[in-house]
Amino acid sequence: MSNLYERIGGDAAVNAAVNIFYRKVLSDDRVNAYFDIVDMDAQIAKQKGFLTMVFGGPNHYSGKDMREGHKHLTGLNDSHVDAIIELLGETLQELGVAESDIGEIANIANSVRDDVLNR
């Protein structure tokens, strides 16, 4: 069996998911205050990096990067991480990704929770 990233479609899957996912994030009052929309293209690029990571693709994001990238955000807590994982799951369902793969992706996202929350 091929690895997760290849199975769900690699870079093409990232490109398909990023618009849907980021649209959900910006529309969700639980989390949208944390997303700077001054430069949407830069944000989309960041989200693509995040999606590549959680899809198990080639990336150089480390736990340290996730910690550095989020520690200036005050008030960030578990509920926000939960919301992001939920929106990620909805995105993948819309794209017809298998439930077992969605579970695996959620696990990868969950694995950086402590880094994101700086604890």
- Residue 49 is a binding residue for other proteins (CB under 8 A): yes
**Sequence letter at residue 4:** L
**Sequence letter at residue 25:** V
- Residue 71 is a binding residue for other proteins (CB under 8 A): no
Binding residue (CB under 8 A) for other proteins from 33, 40, 73, 98: 40
b/e sequence 63-94, b meaning 16+ C-beta within 10 Å: eeebbeebeeeeebeeebbebbbebbbebbee
- Give the footprint of other proteins on residues 8-37 (CB under 8 A): 11, 15, 18-19, 22-23, 26-27, 37
Binding residue (CB under 8 A) for other proteins from 1, 2, 29, 60: 60
d(CA 50, CA 38): 19
- Residue 111 is a binding residue for other proteins (CB under 8 A): no
Question: What is the H or E stretch that residue 29 is in?
Answer: none
Kindly list the distances between the CA atom of residue 35 and the CA atoms of 3, 47, 77, in Å, as whole numbers in the listed order. Answer: 31, 11, 15
- Residue 46 is a binding residue for other proteins (CB under 8 A): yes
- Residue 64 is a binding residue for other proteins (CB under 8 A): no
* Interface with other proteins (CB under 8 A): 11, 15, 18-19, 22-23, 26-27, 37-38, 40-42, 44-46, 48-49, 52, 58-61
